[in-house]
Structure 1
Amino acid sequence: MRDDDPRLPSSPRLPSSPGFWRSPLRGTWFTSVLGLVLLVGITVLFVTGLVSYAAYNPGLSPVNDQTPGKGFLGFYLFAWPTNPYWLYRLTQGLHVTLGITLIPVLLAKLWSVVPKLFALPPARSLTHALERISLLTLVGGGLFEFTTGVLDVQLDYVFPGSFYPLHFYGAWVFFAAFVTHAALKAPAAVRAVRGRGRERERERERDELVSPRPEAATVSRRGALWFVGAGSLLLFVTTAGQSIGGALRRTALLAPHGWADPGGGPGGFQINKTAAYAGIDPAETGAEAWRLVVTGRDGRTVRLSRAQLIRLPLYSEALPIACVEGWSTADQWWRGVRLRDLAALVGYDGDPPDAFVESLQRHGAFRRAALRANQVADPRSLLALYVNGEDLSPDHGHPARVVVPAAPGVLNTKWVARITFGAL
């Protein structure tokens, strides 16, 4: 139809009216390119998100399970490994960085299909009805997942309830809609992207997304895609450094734990939870007051001062701390007692069992955490007393903290007061 076609209203006022959406950029080819990028990106996001949840070992203990009642949605859970030691740093860094990088693509995709949200009649066939339902769920779920994810990364926990179940269940709803929509639209999207010349022109004539009364173009579709890509690249550059580390950390302007390492000296690396925030009383962590209580087989218990721990065999390991918000530290040199050696003190001379770690902290999540037997047995898993050659600072967990390779940061418990082996 031409702009002066009498079948078109002269001044359409409703979003459902023909000609209301007048951008010349909209069309199946444009939205298909964006859709295929999201097909790959969102699949990676979903998989790395599930992997992150598995890293908490939620089937091990209720204190590790942040989504109680998940039922069959936990079918895929597996025992999280300790090798390679940078595994969680990689998977969660990829999850957060990719999620932020895809925001311009998601917004452009939603903009490109917004006329379909208002199209009448609501359903022309069963297939069309399924497509509309999947589209509405996809749009709502996508906005929810990306919004809650960004807010969690930038502002920590700002939700009316725990972030974990909201994001977990939202991800399943969103991905179910995403798979349905992809199954319905992916073949047409591939054809639209691969079409050439006259074939593409014939498709445009039947294209519901093409405006019947387009305005004059100010940029080509390819130019618009370059613009979207530039926005994604900008977000990548200003975020990725928080996970990659090194000199690139200075480019992480949008990352809350990016830019330069905080402070200086051996303890000058990222801190997610300070001693003041956790409610740590300095009187409880002094040499006279603090004791580590270790309990094991048949209730055997030992109480160890920090001085006694220092007299035990000490080992050093270079390990990072990686957090669910996507940030991570560089490898830090930790020195302390192996967890499996502590298990041996209370009757587990062979393969050590699972462990339950309790902290002195009074505020914040993960005051307690459970570790699997493979984590306890790993010779790199330490009850750390030093970092980078000096005593732990109060904010890094003085007098002692757990450090486990490949574990999420919150399972590397600070201000440890008690470890119970074989209690799960």
Structure 2
Amino acid sequence: MKLDIRLPDPPAALRRGPFRADAFRGALHDPRTAVSVGRLLGLAFLTCFLTGLFSHLLQHQPHWLALPSRPVWGYRVTQGLHVATGIAAVPLLLVKLWVVYPRLFAWPPAKSVGHALERLSIAVLMMAAIFELVTGLLNVVQWYPWPFPFVPAHYWIAWVAAGAITLHIAAKLPLIVAHWRRPRGVPVALAGPSRRGLFTVLGAGVGVVTLATVGQTVTPLGRVSVLAPRRADIGPQGLPVNRTAAAAGVLTAVRDPAWRLEVVGPRPFALTRAELLAMPQHEATLPISCVEGWSASAHWSGVRIRDLMARAGAPPGARLRVFSHELFSPYSVMDMPDEWSRDSLTLLALMLGGAPLAEDHGYPARVIAPNRPGVLQTKWVTRMEVLG
């Protein structure tokens, strides 16, 4: 006896479940809602991309590119905006994915080669967006549970996300144009939950996560930002630190009574801390602004970098290379372009708030300069080299 088993036609079988034409009836999964959420998310990602690009250029400045040292609070604003917007993008992305997820079950999965490439680009966009937000959030709390370096990975995946967004907008441009504004005569509310209600909840979510974290940048909101990983008034000498002297392994070096600052140039010299304090002292009120988004302003005093360079015989336009006692850090050696090394506000700081620097803030000497990332405000300085 021959057993004849006939399998059902695969498309028909699949279309009995979420692939059937009427599987998702919710009005909030429509193109108009997707476009409305998408333009908010697109604005958030554009802000993150541009501010992140500025941060990257400051940290890895090409020799041919001149960047401004003013306003002194510029990086505080741009990086604070970068992190705050990235956090606000989390609920935006979650709502966007919720609105469009029924399209994952569209049948057929690919109607043509072009359609297949379009869906592939959306997959790349989703993965890149999730990667950027997750790694960015974990960087804010300085937790790196992955084997790759954060900075280059975050930077290059940002370019992947930017390319995928551009391709997605180009592919969906007719739909975006059609649903950018509500056509006249079309009722605002459809059956089921309203679009206005969705955006009310979304706005509340964005507002709550922003208010709960932005105090690490906007100092007056520090007490209500309960989820902010830093507060501007908590830390040694009332200023936060990312890395302590003990964690950096520099305690022995900075406590050495024989410590000297070595300055290498056409006329090299070395100075003790007492000799540095005997030089003309200058003051500046400048913020420390870190890539994690927190920032705090403080009053610094010390010797101008340009005075030390002049004493070393630095030629006009010379760059400066600064070395820290901290050895095992990607920022233990820092190059300073002419626009900062010659700035009157750029100091080799010896005092903070009228008192000697705490060890965690860079004792015996550290760099402080206007409009620069905190990772370039080198602590525990031991050596400076004039580069022609």
TM-score > 0.5, shorter chain as reference: yes
Matches within 5 A, 1:384-403: 384-403=349-368
Aligned to 1:332: 298
Aligned to 1:346: 312
Partner of 2:228, secondary structure, is: coil
* One-letter code aligned to 2:333: R
Counterparts of 1:372 and 1:168 in 2: how far apart (Å)?
Answer: 22
Counterparts of 2:36 and 2:303 in 1: how far apart (Å)?
Answer: 54
1:81 equivalent to 2:68? Answer yes
Partner of 2:270, secondary structure, is: strand
**Aligned match for 2:89, one of 102, 106, 127:** 102
Aligned to 1:168: 155
User: Offset at 1:107?
Assistant: 0.8
User: Offset at 1:41?
Assistant: 1.9
Say if 1:187 and 1:200 are closer, same or farther in 2 by CA, change over 3 A. farther
Counterparts of 2:225 and 2:146 in 1: how far apart (Å)?
Answer: 25
Counterparts of 1:152 and 1:355 in 2: how far apart (Å)?
Answer: 29
Aligned to 1:315: 282
Matches within 5 A, 1:349-364: 351=316, 353-364=318-329
Aligned to 2:227: 254
User: Offset at 1:152?
Assistant: 0.9
**Aligned match for 1:223, one of 197, 206, 218:** 197
Counterparts of 1:354 and 1:179 in 2: how far apart (Å)?
Answer: 38
Counterparts of 2:287 and 2:61 in 1: how far apart (Å)?
Answer: 22
Q: What count of residue pairs does the alignment treat as equivalent?
A: 378
Do the aligned partners of 1:12 and 1:20 also contact (CA within 8 Å) in 2? no
| CA deviation map 1:54-101 (0-9, x unaligned) | 1113435xxxxxxxxxxxxxxxx8332211111111111111101101
Say if 1:14 and 1:145 are closer, same or farther in 2 by CA, change over 3 A. farther
User: Offset at 1:272?
Assistant: 1.0
Aligned to 1:55: 58
Partner of 1:385, secondary structure, is: strand
* One-letter code aligned to 1:293: E
Counterparts of 1:227 and 1:322 in 2: how far apart (Å)?
Answer: 32
User: Offset at 1:198?
Assistant: 5.1
**Aligned match for 1:182, one of 150, 169, 172:** 169
Do the aligned partners of 2:235 and 2:241 also contact (CA within 8 Å) in 1? no
User: Offset at 1:366?
Assistant: 1.0
User: Offset at 1:231?
Assistant: 0.3
Counterparts of 1:240 and 1:54 in 2: how far apart (Å)?
Answer: 24
User: Offset at 1:281?
Assistant: 2.3
User: Offset at 1:12?
Assistant: 7.1
Partner of 2:28, secondary structure, is: coil
**Aligned match for 2:260, one of 285, 291, 295:** 291
Counterparts of 1:281 and 1:263 in 2: how far apart (Å)?
Answer: 18
Counterparts of 2:173 and 2:295 in 1: how far apart (Å)?
Answer: 36
Aligned to 1:236: 210
Say if 1:59 and 1:158 are closer, same or farther in 2 by CA, change over 3 A. farther
Runs of 5+ consecutive residues of structure 1 not aligned to the other structure: 1-8, 61-76, 205-209, 211-215
User: Offset at 1:292?
Assistant: 0.3
Say if 1:187 and 1:318 are closer, same or farther in 2 by CA, change over 3 A. farther
Range with bigger deviation, 400-409 or 118-127: 118-127
When the two chains are superposed, the root-mean-square deviation of aligned CA atoms in Å is 2.5
TM-score (norm 1): 0.83
Aligned to 2:6: none
Aligned to 2:5: none
Counterparts of 1:376 and 1:197 in 2: how far apart (Å)?
Answer: 60
User: Offset at 1:199?
Assistant: 5.6
Aligned to 2:105: 118
* One-letter code aligned to 2:251: D
User: Offset at 1:32?
Assistant: 1.0
Aligned to 1:148: 135
Aligned to 1:34: 37
* One-letter code aligned to 1:191: A
* One-letter code aligned to 1:272: N
TM-score (norm 2): 0.90
Counterparts of 2:25 and 2:175 in 1: how far apart (Å)?
Answer: 23
Do the aligned partners of 2:29 and 2:102 also contact (CA within 8 Å) in 1? no
Aligned to 1:409: 374
Do the aligned partners of 1:301 and 1:346 also contact (CA within 8 Å) in 2? yes
Counterparts of 2:167 and 2:381 in 1: how far apart (Å)?
Answer: 47
* One-letter code aligned to 2:196: R
Aligned to 2:250: 280
Partner of 2:109, secondary structure, is: coil
Do the aligned partners of 1:105 and 1:229 also contact (CA within 8 Å) in 2? no
Say if 1:289 and 1:21 are closer, same or farther in 2 by CA, change over 3 A. farther
1:302 equivalent to 2:269? Answer yes
| CA deviation map 1:174-210 (0-9, x unaligned) | 1101011112224422422423355679xx9xxxxx9
Matches within 5 A, 1:194-233: 194-196=181-183, 217=192, 219-233=193-207
Runs of 5+ consecutive residues of structure 2 not aligned to the other structure: 1-11
